[in-house]
Structure 1
Amino acid sequence: MWFKNLRLYRLTEEWTISAEELNEKLAAFCFNPCGSLDPMRYGFEPPLGRHGSEFVHVTNGYVMICAKKQEKILPGGVIKEQLEEKVQAIKDAESRPVGRKERDTLKDELIFSLLPKAFTRSTLDYAYIAPQEGLIVVNSSSAKRAEDLLSKLREALGSLRCLPIAPKNIPTQVMTHWLRESEAPHQFELGEEVELQAAKDGRVIRCKKQDLTASEIRNHLESGMHVSKIALVWKESISCIIDDQLGIKRLKFEDVISDKAAERNPESKAEQFDADFAIMAMELKNFIAATLAAFGGEVERE
């Protein structure tokens, strides 16, 4: 359950929905498996999975939710191969070409016939609402997947006013400054990974397991490249990659944090989930605040 990625959204109005009301609204949009002809289904699941029945899990005022996506797997290569066979069969039988419109119709019919036989793939998307901080934190490396979850939440609630966090200072400029000065912001240390991009010619250089204060890194900056991603370590307890959209990826909690949850001696999956969530949310509260401060705070919205 420990989040591995963060997408941060600012609530632009006060969160006033109770846990009971939210649970009721999410239940109305719960996940149902794909039918034989459904290419995809998306809906809410209990965060505890089979160990729980509620669609929300609340700890210390933080509200965890989970959405499940199930989609049919239809490999493009299989569709293309069978489509070409159908097209060739028509050419051979009727001695005529097959136009684009007819090909599209044949493709749709082919997909329709394959859907009932297709395997399914399921994924879970977690997020938690932090009313105290006015945030929604989504565990996703993909902006699209995060927006899909928020869109479903908006559908369930009727409205949801929130926007992606926007820092005052431009992330690429801030991260490039850190690297040029070989100095991370307060409470942070530079990691061993960076991605550099050149605006003029599109060059990209990725460095892993490197000393980011080395002269060769500085030479790339002097040539006009800028930082698009950089590895940071916060207070020796959380490590991550931050990108130019303020997306936080490959988040890792060191043992000093996860051991705190184990110290509570949980006796069930539900208690373990609750302990992990409580510790994670409190650590992320401070980590997020420090990260935003490192980029000069947030843009003030009217």
Structure 2
Amino acid sequence: MWFKNLRLFQLTEPLNDSAEALSDKLSQAPFKPCGSQDMSRFGWVPPAGPDAQDYVHASNGYLMVCLKRQEKILPAAVINEHLEEKLADIRAEEGRPVGRKERQTLKDEIIFDLLPKAFSKSARDYAFIAPQERLILVNCSSSNRAEELLSQLREALGSLKAIPLTPQQAPAQLMTHWLRGEDLPTDFVLGEECEFQAGKDSRVVRCKNVDLSAPEVSSHLEAGMFASKLALTWKEAIHFVLDDQFAVKRLKFEDQLLEQASDRNPETAAEAFDADFAVMSIELTALVKALIQAFGGAVEPESVV
């Protein structure tokens, strides 16, 4: 299971629980499907799949967890259609307008009636903890989804001192310097994609499949724009897009890394999962540490507002 995105968090206190202790705590908050009147539900599942027993998958000191969510599909258009029918009936039968409070009451009643009949959709969000590095890497592109996973993890564990990882140097500023020609850190090279934003208005310029050292790219910098997203490659093995929130998106791993996992000759799905995680966790942790160093280190937790 190879991550596609990273939202980064740092532990402000050591995580001293063993994998077994963490698994036991998460097993007390397992996923349960939505009830008839639930809009959504969250719960923990074994990350290695339905046949696994452990709620924490450990490898090389790294700890993988998986939060499953289920949400009812109840489109606003469907609710509004039923509401308009009820409003039309009231106007026709009673000849009166419907006030805001009554309208909301009718809407709530419609939702209550429709929820048991609504379809459900499920999704899994994965994260792994690197206790020694005091890092948590969440496989989410959305900051809200990542924060939600951390919130559920805190609730299940009783306590988890973790905050978003903030680099010393502003990502947009340093990425802009790199595009202006400043040397990149060791092992990093520019990709072929970036996004520019203007400081005083909402203009956005996206460049794809281009040489980022080309004059047409530099012209946006000369016009006062700054880099809000930048494609990078690390060690010729991992390609990604870094944004101005220090989030890593659209991860792509070269075959040489994927083959390291397959070289272990896994014979079952569980063994394949373990092999993938063993390689991925080491490489992604090293990548994140290199990014933190490239941006001057992480802001000390005591300094984070």
Matched, 1:87 2:87: yes
Question: 1:74: Cα distance to partner?
Answer: 0.4
Tell me the residue number matched to 1:102: 102
Q: Could you report, residue by residue, the CA deviation over 1:199-230 in whole angstroms, capped at 9, with x for unpaired residues?
A: 11221011111111110111111111000001
- How far, CA to CA, are the matches of 2:182 and 2:13 in structure 1? 39
Aligned to 1:135: 135
Question: Which residue of the partner structure matches residue 158 of structure 1?
Answer: 158
Query: Is residue 276 from structure 1 mapped to residue 280 from structure 2 by the alignment?
Result: no
On the 8 A contact 2:266/2:275 being kept in 1, the answer is yes
Contact kept in structure 1, 2:42 and 2:68, CA below 8 Å: yes
Whether contact under 8 Å (1:238, 1:254) holds in the other structure is: yes
Looking at structure 2, the residues matched to 262 and 8 of structure 1 have their Cα atoms a distance apart, in angstroms, of: 27
Structure 1: any 5+ residue segments left out of the alignment? none
Q: For 1:49, what is the secondary structure of its paired residue?
A: coil
Kept in 2, the 8 Å contact 1:197–1:204? The answer is yes
Match of 1:260 in 2: 260
Which residue in the other structure is 1:115 paired with?
A: 115
1:166-220 deviation per Cα after TM superposition (whole angstroms, max 9, x unaligned)? 1010111000000111643321111111110001122101111111111011111
Q: What TM-score, normalized by structure 1, do the two folds share?
A: 0.98
Matched residue SS, 1:4: coil
* Aligned equivalents of 2:103, 2:175: Cα separation in 1: 50
Write the letter of the residue equivalent to 1:64. Answer: M
Contact 1:182–1:213 (Cα < 8 Å) also in 2: no
Per-residue CA deviation, residues 82-137 of structure 1 (Å, 9 max, x unaligned), is 11111111111100001111111111100110101100010100001111111111
Report the counterpart of residue 200 of structure 2 in structure 1.
200
Q: CA contact under 8 A between 2:49 and 2:270: conserved in structure 1?
A: no
Q: Secondary structure at the match of 2:105?
A: helix
**Equivalent residue, structure 2, for 1:7:** 7
Distance 1:190 1:103 in 2: 55
CA contact (8 A) 2:240 2:249 kept: yes
| RMSD, aligned α-carbons | 1.0
For 2:171, the equivalent position in structure 1 comes to 171
Aligned-partner Cα distance in 2 for 1:86–1:212: 58
CA distance in 1, matches of 2:265, 2:141: 31
The one-letter amino acid paired with 1:6 is L
8 Å contact 2:194–2:231 — kept in the other structure?
yes
One-letter code aligned to 1:184: L
Aligned to 1:17: 17
Q: Distance in 1 between matches of 2:172 and 2:33?
A: 42
CA apart distance, 1:301: 3.0
Gaps of 5+ in 2: none
2:231 alignment counterpart: 231
Distance 2:99 2:300 in 1: 55
Name the TM-score, length of structure 2 as normaliser: 0.97
**Number of aligned residue pairs:** 302
